[in-house]
Amino acid sequence: MLDLPSGYYIHNETEESISLKVSGAVFEFVDWNRQFTEPDADLFYETSSAAEFLQYCGTYDGGIPANTPFFLNISGNNLLKLKEIILA
């Protein structure tokens, strides 16, 4: 059994990759390093810029937030919203 800090573990039994169009999508993430938010603002940041989201991803080791879950709101093959979920 895994000893996990929060007692929870997300296990995805099947890995499936699909391509999504991101034009017009909204990205919501936690701006831990305050790259996009003011010091007194909420840490949650929302943008329609895929470039800003990729810049945020670059703050993680290897440029991929591998241990952070995201909820995706999808319609057909269009990404409508990507939202970072904090489990801690």
pLDDT tens sequence across 75-85: 999 999 999 98
φ and ψ at 26, to 5 degrees? -110, 135
Domain boundaries along the sequence of the chain: 26-84
User: Measured between alpha carbons, how far is 50 from 78 in angstroms, rounded to an integer?
Assistant: 14
pTM: 0.77
- The answer to whether residues 80 and 23 touch, using CB atoms and an 8 Å cutoff, is no
pLDDT tens sequence across 26-41: 999 999 889 999 999 9
Q: Which residue has the higher pLDDT, 67 or 77?
A: 77
User: Measured between alpha carbons, how far is 35 from 55 in angstroms, rounded to an integer?
Assistant: 9
